[in-house]
Chains A and B, each alone.
Chain A
Amino acid sequence: MSAVNLQMACVAGLLGLAVLAIVLSRSKAATGVIYGATLAVSAIALIGSMRSLLGDPANVTALTLPVGLPWLGAHFRLDALASFFLIVVNLGGAAASLYGLGYGHHEATPHRVLPFFSAFLAGMNLVVLSDDAFSYLLCWEFMSLASWALVMAHHREAGNAKAGYIYLVMASFGTLALLLAFGLLAGPAGDYGFAAIRAARHTPYAAALVLILMLLGAGSKAGLVPLHVWLPLAHPAAPSHVSALMSGVMTKVAIYGFIRVVFDLLGQPAWWASVVVLFLGGITAVMGILYAMMEKDLKRLLAYSTIENVGIIFASLGLALAFQANGLKLLAALAFTAALFHVLNHSFFKSLLFFGAGAVLTATGERDMDKLGGLIHRMPLTSFVFLVGCVAISALPPFNGFVSEWLIFQAVLQSPELPQWALKIMVPAVGALLALAAALAAACFVKAYGVAFLGRPRSPSAETTGEVDRYSLAAMFILSALCLLAGILPGLVIDALAPITTEILGGRMPIQANEAWLSIAPIAESRSSYNGLLVMVFITISASLAAYFIHRFASRALRRGPAWGCGFSDPTPAAQYSGGSFAQPIRRVFGTLVFHARDHVEMPPPGDIRPARLRIELHDLIWEGMYAPIAGAIGISSDRLNRLQFLTIRQYLSLVFATLVTLLLVLAIWS
């Protein structure tokens, strides 16, 4: 069976499972059967896509199915880029299914989750596989609708209906932008196949419009600022393993769409395109993580951090565009590889973190960090893997997040090669923004972990909880192992990504397998290198040596006592630093500008025994400045138009007559 046939068979299997889930819907066994089956199918699809990426890169397989529009059919194709994204999709799918085997038993309404879960997986696979604009859009909508249904799974919970509504509006807007983009790409001749679009020449204006439409369409799905508003509402509303899929995988499918169109179908990019992408990426990265820093809902914090990571990926893609536009193929390959590496990394650690948040949610029933605390004692294993995820996402060595950020910085450092002044000035500034985002990410995850897992429990449910089930733990441990492996063996990943850069950009990074001691050295001349394996080995050896010698020769005595706290032990856990107070210094520094943040102290008058209160006022300027006016305008204009429903028959007839006259007039003037 050829590679693409195998993938399509898996998709068919997933769709079949969706039907089976409807049939089984009320049965007790449904959860186990469906998640077990999606795990198996995703694993097969994962192995198949890994084989096609690591196998012969020239072996591109295609398939045409006689479905869809008559005479056109639906085209599917599997090349290196699609194989890579299929790995991301199916790895995430397999992990989420494994997690679901345990987590799904806590689900009150499994019949509202199971059918859409496998349909959602099938939809994401299909988007990556499709090879003509028609099936691409169809699959894209299928994916959006399936995920919308999952967002609405718990539709009675406060806020979820609003999240679903905003998601639906933004998804329709995104698809409209994609539709227009593909319309432009197909041109007057109207050939919708990707092969024909790739072969056609696109005028600069059309290419510019397509780029902007793709930024709107794919960017709104991926969460680019200012199109991100739906993401922090919708991703956390879904069940946690679906949140993991939406954040870790679906945003990547959107990025795949962007790469496919802008890098593959449009041909040689213009240099100014990279300015737009770089700018949006840098802003998205910093804004996303600042929002996350202010958040106290654990899952929503993770969703905002997804926005940050999408920003990093887009900034890196922008760099690749800049180098590609100037014919610097090697450097373009470096930036592009960094972006893909970050795609992979983010799918690992964001899924892991959402699984962890889901474990906390099932164990304590809380998403609010200020009601958690001390979970490291009650849930030691979950705490350990969540810590791994936090370290990885904060871009700290020796884990995987650092490697991709390091590659991006190496690409940023090559910007003097670019001839355009705008880019020369812009790239270092974006580099500084990315460094700021990375440092803020570390701060944000110190907050998330420190408030939720460390300290003293802030609520009875956090005090009495226990560890989660084995399936959930297995999924999280597998992902944290992958985070470590990708961090210490980055050369293998970079070499595996080489066929994609060769296929899309026509250049590739130097082969890393030849470097001594499994180092990575992206650019031979600069001799900059990094070796995650040795860094980890050194840290392990020196930490164990220090611990051994101290315990052997100095002292190993240990006494437990009450906390010191400068002699004053606070009696209640409420006196600890909470999420809001931890964010206070950063809110003071960035908040006044970005959120118009104000702290109000309400001090009761003397003699009054009410407590003093501190109230924090934060404004989401993007929502208030952009979305609220649009929503208001739509509301007002629909109110006005509402009057048209209550006219007399005479008035309707005169309206019809006036319209007719106007149209005739227009026709007369036009011709």
Chain B
Amino acid sequence: MVVISDILVQGVQMLLVLLLAPLLTGFVRKVKARLVRRQGASVFQPYRDLLRLLRKEVVLADNASWLFRVTPYVTFAAIWVAAALVPTFATGLLFNWTADLIAIVALLGSARFFLALAGMDVGTSFGGIGSSREVMIAALAEPAMLLIVFCMALVAGSTQLSTVANFMASSYVGLRVSLGMAVIALIMVALAENARIPVDNPATHLELTMVHEAMVLEYSGRHLAMIEFGAFLKLLLYVSLIACVFLPWKIAVFGTGPFAYAIGTAAYVVKLMAAGFFLALFETATAKMRVFRVPQFLGAALMLGLLGTLLLFVSRSF
């Protein structure tokens, strides 16, 4: 009986991330439009886009292989599983113990690996340019991410997100410089990983500086829908990650009953909206940087992570 209710709560989370992910992207787009005084599409537009794409037929390049057809589902599944493992409204859900933060990052890495391969599959130069730049950005983002994980694990004593969130929610964390550095670094990595401005522009399609969009250029129909949905989920995942680690406000502890869960869900939605708003604000205020400036951007994230870690050592020993 307990197991059934556990699975139920876990299932609710998996559906919740699925439902909220397009909404978050729609919200960001809406705010961006309003900030530049456009009306903008409805916040529900991403759902309509997805449904329209799902109903369309797939136009497949002549020499596309089975890998090209499987990749959308594999990437979507990997990102969905990763997103389901990050605590959203409650910590300690049934499957939270399946994977820790390192494994979640690696799951996203699996998704990217297959997507980069799919970019190479058809054999057009656009796919190649996208894939090669995507793996470069990943190669720089991953060490930075590990140092952030390191910093968090030093404070919380675990890489398991539920444990970290519970620890951060407790009263005796306080303000720490190194956590501040870690959160800035994490935001920088999140921007890079989600192909947002200033690293990549999610709105361009015909520009030689594009990365992610060039990689998925050959996709259409339901395949494209799955990839877009994966990208929405990934954005939600990173926002949830930042929220659960650095802002575990009102997050429900496992087994505290439906009421606490409801409060947790409401708080989660508020956090998503706040994050979406700030993301839109930031993207409107900055310009996209050249591709070969990205190493410096991510190098700064790496250094912040390292500095945060070293500061923790210093503050511990005195």
Is B285 among interface residues, defined by CB-CB distance under 8 A?
no
- How many Å from the CB of B168 to the closest CB on chain A? 15
Is A268 among interface residues, defined by CB-CB distance under 8 A?
no
Is B32 among interface residues, defined by CB-CB distance under 8 A?
no
Is B267 among interface residues, defined by CB-CB distance under 8 A?
no
With beta carbons under 8 angstroms apart, the residue of B59, B63, B127, B149 that contacts A374 is B63
With beta carbons under 8 angstroms apart, the residue of B61, B142, B225 that contacts A562 is B61
Interface string of B31-66 (1 = CB under 8 A from A): 000000000000000000000001111111111011
A428 x B306 contact (CB < 8 A) = yes
A566 x B126 contact (CB < 8 A) = yes
Interface string of A514-525 (1 = CB under 8 A from B): 001101000001
B98 x A586 contact (CB < 8 A) = no
Is B260 among interface residues, defined by CB-CB distance under 8 A?
no
Q: Which residue of B lies closest to A397 (CB)?
A: B106
Taking CB atoms, residues of chain A closer than 8 Å to B106 are 395-397, 402, 406
B62 x A586 contact (CB < 8 A) = no
Taking CB atoms, residues of chain A closer than 8 Å to B124 are 563-565, 569-570, 576
Interface string of A573-597 (1 = CB under 8 A from B): 1011100011111101100000000
With beta carbons under 8 angstroms apart, the residue of A412, A519, A562 that contacts B98 is A519
Report how far A525 CA is from B153 CA in the complex, Å: 13
Q: Which residue of A lies closest to B163 (CB)?
A: A527
B100 x A550 contact (CB < 8 A) = no
Asked if A557 meets B57 with Cβ closer than 8 Å, knowing A443-B135, A531-B98, the reply is yes
Taking CB atoms, residues of chain A closer than 8 Å to B138 are 439, 442-443
A432 x B217 contact (CB < 8 A) = no
Taking CB atoms, residues of chain A closer than 8 Å to B78 are 539
The 23 listed contacts between A and B (C-beta, < 8 Å) are: A397-B107, A402-B103, A413-B159, A429-B306, A432-B305, A450-B131, A455-B120, A455-B122, A526-B160, A527-B163, A528-B158, A529-B160, A539-B74, A539-B77, A546-B80, A555-B56, A555-B221, A559-B57, A563-B122, A563-B124, A564-B124, A569-B124, A582-B131
Is A367 among interface residues, defined by CB-CB distance under 8 A?
no
Q: Which residues of chain B in 284-318 are interfacial with respect to chain A, using CB atoms and an 8 Å cutoff?
A: 291-292, 295, 302, 305-306, 309-310, 313, 316
Is B238 among interface residues, defined by CB-CB distance under 8 A?
no
Is B150 among interface residues, defined by CB-CB distance under 8 A?
yes
Is A251 among interface residues, defined by CB-CB distance under 8 A?
no
Report how far A267 CA is from B158 CA in the complex, Å: 32
Report how far A450 CA is from B295 CA in the complex, Å: 23
Report how far A531 CA is from B220 CA in the complex, Å: 34
Is B128 among interface residues, defined by CB-CB distance under 8 A?
yes
With beta carbons under 8 angstroms apart, the residue of B60, B123, B133, B222 that contacts A576 is B123
Is A456 among interface residues, defined by CB-CB distance under 8 A?
yes
Is B99 among interface residues, defined by CB-CB distance under 8 A?
yes
Taking CB atoms, residues of chain B closer than 8 Å to A440 are 139
Q: Which secondary structure dominates chain A's binding surface?
A: helix
Report how far A519 CA is from B147 CA in the complex, Å: 25
Q: Which residues of chain B in 83-120 are interfacial with respect to chain A, using CB atoms and an 8 Å cutoff?
A: 84, 95, 97-100, 102-103, 106-107, 109-110, 112-113, 116-117, 119-120
Taking CB atoms, residues of chain A closer than 8 Å to B56 are 555, 557
Q: Which residue of B lies closest to A573 (CB)?
A: B123
With beta carbons under 8 angstroms apart, the residue of B109, B139, B310 that contacts A425 is B310
B132 x A582 contact (CB < 8 A) = yes
A557 x B125 contact (CB < 8 A) = no
Is B143 among interface residues, defined by CB-CB distance under 8 A?
yes
Taking CB atoms, residues of chain A closer than 8 Å to B24 are none
- How many Å from the CB of B254 to the closest CB on chain A? 13
- How many Å from the CB of B14 to the closest CB on chain A? 8
Is B67 among interface residues, defined by CB-CB distance under 8 A?
yes
- How many Å from the CB of A305 to the closest CB on chain B? 15
- How many Å from the CB of B33 to the closest CB on chain A? 26
Taking CB atoms, residues of chain B closer than 8 Å to A410 are 102, 159
A428 x B309 contact (CB < 8 A) = yes
Is A12 among interface residues, defined by CB-CB distance under 8 A?
no
Asked if A585 meets B109 with Cβ closer than 8 Å, knowing A387-B67, A432-B146, A455-B123, the reply is no
Report how far A431 CA is from B143 CA in the complex, Å: 8
Q: Which residue of B lies closest to A443 (CB)?
A: B135
Report how far A439 CA is from B120 CA in the complex, Å: 18
A542 x B117 contact (CB < 8 A) = no
Asked if A443 meets B146 with Cβ closer than 8 Å, knowing A554-B54, A566-B206, the reply is no
Asked if A535 meets B103 with Cβ closer than 8 Å, knowing A428-B147, A446-B113, A450-B117, the reply is yes
Taking CB atoms, residues of chain A closer than 8 Å to B127 are 577
Taking CB atoms, residues of chain B closer than 8 Å to A387 are 67
Is B184 among interface residues, defined by CB-CB distance under 8 A?
no
- How many Å from the CB of B135 to the closest CB on chain A? 4
Q: Which residue of A lies closest to B69 (CB)?
A: A558
Q: Which residue of A lies closest to B97 (CB)?
A: A529
Report how far A539 CA is from B135 CA in the complex, Å: 22
Q: Which residue of B lies closest to A449 (CB)?
A: B117
Is B157 among interface residues, defined by CB-CB distance under 8 A?
yes
Report how far A368 CA is from B131 CA in the complex, Å: 21
Taking CB atoms, residues of chain A closer than 8 Å to B59 are 559-561, 564
Is B242 among interface residues, defined by CB-CB distance under 8 A?
no
Q: Which residues of chain A in 316-330 are interfacial with respect to chain B, using CB atoms and an 8 Å cutoff?
A: none
B63 x A377 contact (CB < 8 A) = yes
Asked if A526 meets B67 with Cβ closer than 8 Å, knowing A450-B131, A584-B132, the reply is no
Is A435 among interface residues, defined by CB-CB distance under 8 A?
yes
B123 x A374 contact (CB < 8 A) = yes
Interface residues of A (CB under 8 A from B): 373-374, 376-377, 380, 387, 391, 394-397, 402, 406, 409-410, 412-413, 416, 424-425, 428-429, 431-433, 435-436, 438-440, 442-443, 446-447, 449-451, 454-456, 516-517, 519, 525-531, 534-535, 538-540, 542-544, 546-547, 550, 554-555, 557-566, 569-570, 573, 575-577, 581-586, 588-589
Report how far A583 CA is from B131 CA in the complex, Å: 10
A550 x B222 contact (CB < 8 A) = yes
B292 x A588 contact (CB < 8 A) = yes
B128 x A555 contact (CB < 8 A) = no
Asked if A397 meets B103 with Cβ closer than 8 Å, knowing A455-B123, A528-B158, the reply is yes
New A-B pairs, 12, CB < 8 Å, besides A451-B120, A528-B158, A535-B99: A377-B63, A410-B159, A412-B150, A428-B306, A432-B305, A436-B143, A443-B135, A454-B117, A538-B95, A555-B55, A564-B124, A564-B217
Is B7 among interface residues, defined by CB-CB distance under 8 A?
no
A546 x B226 contact (CB < 8 A) = yes
- How many Å from the CB of B242 to the closest CB on chain A? 20
Taking CB atoms, residues of chain A closer than 8 Å to B154 are 413, 416
Taking CB atoms, residues of chain A closer than 8 Å to B253 are none
Is B140 among interface residues, defined by CB-CB distance under 8 A?
yes
A425 x B313 contact (CB < 8 A) = yes
Taking CB atoms, residues of chain B closer than 8 Å to A564 are 59, 61, 124, 217-218, 220
Is B6 among interface residues, defined by CB-CB distance under 8 A?
no
B58 x A442 contact (CB < 8 A) = no
- How many Å from the CB of A445 to the closest CB on chain B? 8
A566 x B217 contact (CB < 8 A) = yes
B58 x A554 contact (CB < 8 A) = no
With beta carbons under 8 angstroms apart, the residue of A406, A435, A456, A583 that contacts B132 is A583
Taking CB atoms, residues of chain B closer than 8 Å to A575 are 125
With beta carbons under 8 angstroms apart, the residue of A412, A436, A450, A455 that contacts B139 is A436
The winner among A387, A424, A546 for most chain B CB atoms within 10 A is A546
- How many Å from the CB of B216 to the closest CB on chain A? 11
- How many Å from the CB of B58 to the closest CB on chain A? 5
Report how far A586 CA is from B97 CA in the complex, Å: 35
The winner among B66, B135, B305 for most chain A CB atoms within 10 A is B135
A391 x B81 contact (CB < 8 A) = no
Taking CB atoms, residues of chain A closer than 8 Å to B84 are 538
Q: Which residue of A lies closest to B73 (CB)?
A: A543
- How many Å from the CB of B274 to the closest CB on chain A? 29
B62 x A563 contact (CB < 8 A) = yes
Taking CB atoms, residues of chain B closer than 8 Å to A443 are 135-136, 138-139
Report how far A439 CA is from B220 CA in the complex, Å: 29
Is B283 among interface residues, defined by CB-CB distance under 8 A?
no
Taking CB atoms, residues of chain B closer than 8 Å to A447 are 132, 135
